[in-house]
Amino acid sequence: MDHSDLPLFPLELVLYPGEATSLHIFEERYKLMVRDCVKEKRPFGIVLFEEGKMADVGCEAQISEVLRQYPDGRMDIAVVGQRRFRIDQVIDQKAYMQCEATVLNEPDEPLDSDSVERLITQHMKLLEVAGQEVRPTVYQDVDRLSYFIGRNAGLSLTQRQELLERESENARISFLVGFLEEFIPQVQQMEETRVKIRSNGHFKDFPGGEEGVD
């Protein structure tokens, strides 16, 4: 057990190690939690809360900056994901939840280079189909490729959580390869449909459609 009193922030959000995001803090209990974490220079745990259920695995969030403080005590903060953890027991002793938690360490294993190359190729294809800029250099010197790509791969919240819970980098890469094999053709079909609709005058009232010639 690596945490005996980790503050918990259940959100409709999945944070990955190394991922930066900003949060708007407005509930009184979480204002207190953030003040405590800033004062003690400690992280809190972000854990997915969806449809009335809290996940067992989350990610530590280290506050990197308090971006803005409002007169009524609300705050905008910047956080960066740190280590994954599994909740062992929830503790209700303060205004905000805490937990006893175990940090989930990465197994020491060599990466499957073929799967890594395949994943990068797939992700570049996805970006290309979606009309986004493709830059091969962005994949260089990335600490955890699975988390880097998982942030921008079209995953649902449930799928993001599933990726977070995979026990190793190889397992996460394999998960993403399988997902993108199915997802990319769907995106291609959607794009082809969009182009067809825009070029066909009979569909001019379709959202995003434009008048064309018969």
Domain annotation for the chain: domains and CATH numbers: 3-103 (2.30.130.40), 113-198 (no CATH)
What are the pLDDT digits (tens) for 154-173?
Answer: 999 999 999 999 999 999 99
* pLDDT value of position 58: 98
* pLDDT value of position 196: 65
The arithmetic mean of pLDDT across residues 145-161, rounded, is 96
Range in 15-19, 160-164, 208-212 the model is least confident about: 208-212
Q: What is the DSSP string of the chain?
A: --EEEEEEEEES----TT-EEEEEE-SHHHHHHHHHHHHHT--EEEEEEETTEEEEEEEEEEEEEEEEE-TTS-EEEEEEEEEEEEEEEEE-SSSS-EEEEEE-PPP-----HHHHHHHHHHHHHHHHHTT----GGGGTT-S-HHHHHHTTS---HHHHHHHHH-SSHHHHHHHHHHHHHHHHHHHHHHHHHHHHHHT-GGGTTSTT------
pTM score, whole prediction: 0.86
What are the pLDDT digits (tens) for 31-75?
Answer: 999 999 999 999 999 999 999 999 999 999 999 999 999 999 999
